Structure 1
Amino acid sequence: MIVALLNQKGGTGKTTLALHLAGEWARRGNRVTLIDADPQGSALDWSEQRAREHLPRRFGVVGLARDTLHREAPELARNTDHVVIDGPPRVAGLMRSALLAADLVLIPVQPSPLDGWASAEMLALVNEARVYRPELVGRFVLNRCAARTVLARETAEALADHDPPVLSATVGQRIAFAVAAQTGRLVSEIDNAAAAAREITALADEIARIVAGKPSP
């Protein structure tokens, strides 16, 4: 399975979600490769920090910030169970290539009207890709949510009528994710029982149900 995390808007937490989904699938015994397709290279930086900390390698991270992803990602997928693409903001050619490679596209948005409006261009790219890949599945994912805020609920309600729809699982704005980014760790390695780790587990579980074609509970 190839999962791409994409949004034209920067700062939505694509890299955080990409790294932690890759880590969660690896923790479950899957072979995983993460493609850092963002010229900024944040996922590669995380991987290098992990090596400096002498932490075990959970999954491979490769840099492929070019518009040939639709040819190269499927080749990588031949030898893995999951390929995760951490996409760039505001690079339409790379995004189009990632969408043509993906089986599932996740569009992270923060609970803000501005994020909702900014996603319009992303949705246009998804619809364009579906001309060539009609089987492409898409979902919004609410990220960096403050717990039980009206804004988060209103954003989820606003996205409920969209195609693609929004996932039930949400990810909070938590210090653990910042600590993980700085230290080359995953939140499950910092505290597997903490809320951040539970949210990533729930997100991976919901994605698994979507891929299997099962409804959410």
Structure 2
Amino acid sequence: MIVALLNQKGGVGKTTLALHLVGELAQGGKRVTLVDADPQGSALDWSQQRVREGLPRLFGAVGLARDTLHREAPEIARDVDHVVIDGPPRVAGLMRSALLAADLVLIPVQPSPFDGWASAEMLSLLTEARIYRPQLAARFVLNRCAARTVIARETAETLADHDPPVLNSTIGQRVVFADAAQTGRLASEIGRQSPAARKVATLTDEIARLGIGRVDP
């Protein structure tokens, strides 16, 4: 399965979510490759920081910030169980290529009405991609939220009426994610039973239960 995390709005925690998803899959015994399709290269920076810290390599990471991604990612996927793409913000050509590469698109949004409206352009690109890949699946993911707040609940209720729907699993705003970004670690390596690590595990399980795989037209 090729999973692409995409949102043209910056600051939604896309890279952190991509790294923790691929890390959770790898810790579960899956062969996984992370594709950094963001020209900023934040995911690759995290991988390099991990090397500097002397931490073991959990998964492969490659930089592919180019609009041939839809041809190259499926080739990478032949040798692994999953490919996770950390997509670019506001680069239309790269975004379209990532959409055409993916089996499942995850759209991280924060619990704010503004994030919902900012996703409109993203959804337009998704509709366009489905002309060529009608089986392309997509889900919103509530990220950086406190699940019990009113605004988080209202955002989830609003997105429940949308296509794509929102996943039940949410990821909270936790200090451990900032620590993980700085040290090249995953939240689960800092504390396996921490709320952050458990949320990532729950999200990963929900994605796996979707049973999505690549079926080319």
What interval of TM-score do these two structures reach, taking the shorter chain for normalisation?
over 0.9
1:54 correspondence with 2:69: no
Give the number of aligned pairs. 213
Within 5 Å, which residues of 2 pair with 1:1-217? 1-211=1-211
Q: Tell me how far 1:19 sits from its aligned partner.
A: 0.3
Q: CA–CA distance in 2 between the matches of 1:132 and 1:65?
A: 21
Shift in alpha-carbon separation, 1:212–1:118, aligned structure 2, 3 A: closer
Q: Give the distance between the partners of 2:195 and 2:210, measured in 1 at CA.
A: 23
Where 1:25 maps in the other structure, the secondary structure is helix
Structure-1 separation of matches of 2:38 and 2:125: 17
Q: CA deviation at 1:212?
A: 5.6
Please report how far the alpha carbon of residue 147 of structure 1 lies from its aligned counterpart in structure 2 after TM superposition: 3.7
Task: Please give the root-mean-square deviation of Cα atoms over the aligned residues, in Å.
Answer: 0.9
The verdict on how the C-alpha distance between 1:65 and 1:212 changes in structure 2, with shifts beyond 3 A counting, is: closer
Residue 146 of structure 1 aligns to a residue whose secondary structure is coil
Deviation sequence 1:116-145 (CA, Å, 0-9, x none): 000000000111000000010000000000
Deviation at 1:88, TM superposition (A): 0.6
Gaps of 5+ in 2: none
Amino acid at match of 2:134: P
SS for the counterpart of 2:166 is coil
1:112 partner amino acid: S
The separation in 2 between residues aligned to 1:57 and 1:90, in whole angstroms, is: 30
Q: Any idea what the Cα deviations from partners look like across 1:66-99, whole Å, max 9, x if unmatched?
A: 0000000000000000000000110011010000
Structure 1 segments (4+ residues) deviating >4 Å: none
**Does the 8 Å contact 2:103/2:212 carry over to 1?**
no
Aligned equivalents of 1:128, 1:47: Cα separation in 2: 33
Identity of aligned residues (%): 79
The alpha-carbon deviation at position 171 of structure 1 amounts to 0.1
How far apart are the structure 2 equivalents of 1:212 and 1:39? Answer: 28
Q: Structure 1: which 5+ runs fail to align?
A: none
Q: Is the 8 A contact 2:8 2:119 kept in 1?
A: yes
Matched residue of 1:89: which SS? Answer: coil
Q: Deviations over 1:4-23 (max 9, x none)?
A: 00001001111001000000
Paired AA for residue 16 in structure 2 = T
User: What is the CA-CA distance between 1:211 and the residue it aligns to?
Assistant: 1.9
